[in-house]
Amino acid sequence: MSDTEHDRPEPVEEQDGMTISTKHLVAIAQALGLAVAFASGISAWNGIGNDIARIDREIATRSQARDAWVAAHETLHKERLAEVRNREGAVDARLSAMDGQIRKLDELSFRVGATEQSAKTTAEAIKNLEATVNDQSANIRVMREILERQEERRRSEVKPR
C-alpha cells in the first residue's frame, strides 16, 4: 500500500446504498432536528405561558382599575344625588316662603283694588256733595235776595207811617 492509500479512510461496508458512517450522520442530524424541534416546542410553550401570565396580570390590573373607577363613579353619583336633594330642599323651602309672600301680594292686590274702588266712590260722592253744596249755595243766594227784597219792602212799608 502506498502512502496515499493510507490517508484515505477505508470504505465502510455499504448497506442500502449508504455507507454506515453516512447513516450515523443522518441519524445524528435527525436526533438533532428532533432535539431542536422539542426545544422550540418547549420555548414556544414557555412563551405562551408567559404571554398568558402577562395577559392575566393585565386583566387583573384592568379589573382593579375598573373596580376602582366604578367605586369612584358610584361615589360621585351618591354625592351628586345628595347635592341635588339638598338643592331641591332649599328650592322647596324658598318656594314655600315665596308662596306665602305671593298670597300676601294677592291679598294686597285685592286690597288695593278695593281701595281704588272706594276712592272712586268717595270722589264721586264728593263731586255729588259739591254739586249739592253749589246748588244749595245758589238756592241760599236766591233766598237771600228774596229775603233782602222782602226786608226792603218791609222797611219801605214801615217808614212812611
Average pLDDT, the chain: 86
Q: Is 95 left (phi over 0), alpha (psi -120 to 50) or beta?
A: alpha
Percent above pLDDT 90 for the chain: 57
| Residues 90/97, Cβ–Cβ less than 8 Å | no
pLDDT higher than threshold 60 for residue 19:
yes
Grid cell locating 90: 332649599
pLDDT higher than threshold 90 for residue 78:
yes
pLDDT higher than threshold 80 for residue 16:
no
**27-36 confidence digits (pLDDT tens):** 899 999 999 9
pTM: 0.38
| Residues 13/19, Cβ–Cβ less than 8 Å | yes
d(CA 44, CA 33): 16
* pLDDT score, position 7: 57
d(CA 92, CA 157): 94
**123-151 confidence digits (pLDDT tens):** 999 999 999 999 998 889 999 999 999 98
| Residues 20/13, Cβ–Cβ less than 8 Å | yes
Burial of 19 (0-12, 13-18, 19+ CB in 10 A): middle
Residue 19 bridge partners (DSSP)? 14
* pLDDT score, position 3: 52
pLDDT higher than threshold 90 for residue 153:
no
Residue with the larger pLDDT of the pair 71 and 20: 71
H and E: helices and strands count for the chain: 2, 2
Residue with the larger pLDDT of the pair 109 and 68: 68
